[in-house]
Structure 1
Amino acid sequence: MLDSASPLARFDDRLSLPLIAAPMFLVSGVDLVVAACRNGVIGAFPTVNCRSPEQLESWLGDIEGQLLRHSEQSGKPSAPICPNLIVHRSNARLQADLAVLLRHRPEIVITSVGSPAGVLAPLHDAGALVFADVASIRHAERAVEAGADGLVLLTAGAGGQTGWLNPFVFVRAVRAFFAGPIVLAGGIGDGHALRAAQALGCDLAYMGTKFIATRESMADPRYKQMLVESSADDILLTTAFTGLQTNMLRPSIAAAGLDPDDLPQRGAIDIGKDIDVGARENRPARWRDIWSAGHATSGVTGVLSVDDLVARTTAEYRATGPQLQP
């Protein structure tokens, strides 16, 4: 499945698909990661989904314990666990979360919102591959210069804080100067899209939106049902909530009392101050009540178990033809 020369080749016999269950804020938790990994999909989660470094320690211990028991019972190794570190200076927990990861020695770590340079050496010393997510060609070049082992390319159509480049252009431009592992993020909703990502030259791809609508995700049931009822036409790209380009569900914005077609620019909305919906404790909060999703929303037709989602994606992937090498 994977190029034998790739640093990812060590995981080849542990993956059922060249796929990562994307790390999603307030969505990816213990149950989702465990279900993905035991199904042969790399299970990723943001460390900031834990309330504290102590809870991160607990989560990792729980995930590792469950996967060890699964492997012992099934006789099959699980896919790698992949924590996601926010390396921006605004993350006051970065060093504490990093210390937890170093104790647990994850095989892969994804860095987001900044250069991976400050965490590369200790993570490499702990045996981890470090993938940096990037949204532009220049950022990809800088991550490679810093020593990142792989790149996650955030392209148009990815949920949450997203990229804006067309995936065909972005992947081919990066492949012109980088021979290491590339992960495509944005618009991967089924096995056909996953195969197309490999044909472009990617080693792996993110699937995020469809994992939101699984029984194991931490998403609110209303969020999951909204994905079922929505399509790509219901995705709005806006800077209003974070100051960065972010793909959000229009129906959730409207439900919060805002007009999706008349939003202020660049993070101007102060949730709980600008929305008058009654008592303060009932006011909507960004990410809790106003939800993100990607263009793959069009492929969400029901709330599935992770087992069923991976089985369907595997069948689609196999139906598209022989395996491709990037």
Structure 2
Amino acid sequence: MRGDNHLPAALQGLRIPAVASPLFIISVPALVIAQCKAGIVGSFPALNAREGEGEHPLLDTWLTQIREELDRHNQANPDRPAAPFAVNQIVHRSNTRLERDIELCHKHEVPIWITSLGARVEVNEAAHDCGGIALHDIINNRFAKKAIEKGADGLIAVAAGAGGHAGPQSPLALISEIREWFEGPLLLSGSIGTGDALLAALAMGADLGYIGSPFIATKEANALQGYKDMIVESGADDIVYSSLFTGVSGNYLRGSIENAGMDPDNLPEGDLKTMNFGDKREKPKAWKTIWGSGQGIGAVKDVTSVADLVDRYEREFNAAWKRLQRRMA
């Protein structure tokens, strides 16, 4: 495997080649800070920071808190500095906060910007203007090319089995097609529940893994205890792929759909026109506790700390690498 010298500085020197994906509602400063201190990139959606009308922008407060806490950690641990953090921007026309949130991320010189649901030149330019890099998540090769044409520095291939708005394509096919023309930073999302899977992502041609669902079952995550417990108790067979809840196809926990009184095996199709990321968006009461998750949660056996979870990934990654070396010898 090649090293990380070809990557932007913000993605070099990580403890393991991994970025924690931004989790809607769940990713808050406590989780992001713990991820960065553990040696991987932590991230959160800008839209998670929601303040009341007339209040100071919570995103500004969160960014200040994260930067100050990571700076204190780095001063106290010069030999083990924290990894950088990332902020996810939903680049969809219904996100009326986008312009304001771009300005705040620029003000705080966010090192890594992750864009979703639309590639916009001005967002990438804002990231570059403050010294950051822009990564765009995509579900197919066509969208990947559009993202790079519009100035993204790297790509996040969201393949089958990923949590949230997952694509339908095999990671083997998706990574292979992108690598035919793109040599830049490439992350893979989709069932990376173990260090073995992380090594497999690199073997396929990705530079880093993009890991989300296992972090739901951590002490620092802003998730209901029932959500965390269901992650622990579930496996790949318990994941349902549906477009009903947001208008875009995604993966959800079967148990949460059943608890909402619906039949997971007979869900109607969603309507893309219903997608809405505005401040006043509403969704049916029955959908309030529909919980997203990827297929890789079979490896999650208990609710643990972020530090312990990253420790597990590192042990498994190193063991898988040694095992592969022995087989190739």
With structure 1 as the length reference, what TM-score do the two structures score? 0.90
1:69 Cα shift?
Answer: 1.2
Which of the numbers 235, 238, 244 marks the counterpart of 1:240? 244
1:139 maps to amino acid: F
Which of the numbers 71, 74, 97 marks the counterpart of 1:68? 71
- Determine if contact 2:89/2:113 at 8 Å carries over to the other structure: yes
SS in 2 for 1:193: helix
Q: 1:64 to 1:323 in 2, by over 3 A?
A: farther
Gaps of 5+ in 2: 275-283, 325-329
Could you tell me which residue of structure 2 aligns to residue 50 of structure 1? Answer: 49
Could you tell me which residue of structure 2 aligns to residue 92 of structure 1? Answer: 96
Gaps of 5+ in 1: 271-282
Could you tell me which residue of structure 2 aligns to residue 4 of structure 1? Answer: 5
2:29 maps to amino acid: V
SS in 1 for 2:174: helix
% identity of equivalent residues: 42
Q: 1:262 to 1:321 in 2, by over 3 A?
A: closer
Partners of 1:323 and 1:18 in 2: CA distance: 18
1:45 maps to amino acid: F
- The CA deviation string for residues 45-83 of structure 1, in whole angstroms up to 9 with x for no partner, is 100001047100101111111111111122232101100
Alignment of 1:289-304 (within 5 A): 289-304=289-304
SS in 2 for 1:320: helix
1:117 Cα shift?
Answer: 1.8
**Please, what is the CA RMSD of the aligned residues?**
1.8
Q: Within the alignment, does 1:142 sit opposite 2:146 as a pair?
A: yes
Which of the numbers 73, 84, 87 marks the counterpart of 1:83? 87
SS in 1 for 2:321: coil
The runs of 4+ residues in structure 1 deviating greater than 4 Å are none
1:5 maps to amino acid: H
Partners of 2:259 and 2:11 in 1: CA distance: 43
2:161 maps to amino acid: G
- The CA deviation string for residues 126-154 of structure 1, in whole angstroms up to 9 with x for no partner, is 11100010111100011111121000001
Could you tell me which residue of structure 1 aligns to residue 191 of structure 2? Answer: 187
Q: 1:135 to 1:51 in 2, by over 3 A?
A: same
1:308 Cα shift?
Answer: 0.4
Alignment of 1:310-325 (within 5 A): 310-321=310-321
1:118 Cα shift?
Answer: 2.8
Report the number of matched residues. Answer: 308
With structure 2 as the length reference, what TM-score do the two structures score? 0.90
